[in-house]
Amino acid sequence: MTTDAGILQEVYQVILDRKKNQSENSYTSSLMRGGIDKILKKIGEEATEVVIAAKGGTHDEIVYETADLVFHLLVLLGHQDIPPEAVYRELRRRFGTSGIAEKAARPDTHHS
């Protein structure tokens, strides 16, 4: 039985498998074939659906749409060969730090 935290890794492994072993019947494979633009479009759509569900939806709608968004974010990570552990490490790094202080400590990438 999969732990709650382990499900993200299991889904990510399936995504990597679909990336490597393309299938005509796989939604994930079709996203990978569509490339970064198709994946980013889906993330934008799913993020919007989360916002709409949060604004006026039910608990179940918010959960469903959030799961869709997380799935598509995992597809993005898989497409870019970024393991979820990289995100976990970043979250651990930020944990216990004021969000305002953390943002202020980031290098300014807009004004080089």
Domain positions in the chain:
6-95
**The pLDDT of residue 59:** 97
pTM for this model (two decimals):
0.84
Give 99's contacts (C-beta < 8 A, 6+ positions apart).
Answer: none
Residue-level pLDDT, tens digit, the chain, 112 residues: 567 879 999 999 999 999 999 999 999 999 999 999 999 999 999 999 999 999 998 999 999 999 999 999 999 999 999 999 999 999 998 888 776 766 777 676 554 4
Q: Which superfamily does 6-95 belong to?
A: MazG-like (1.10.287.1080)
Q: Which two tokens stand for residue 99?
A: 């969000």
**The pLDDT of residue 99:** 64
Q: Which two tokens stand for residue 17?
A: 């498998």
CA distance 3 to 77: 21
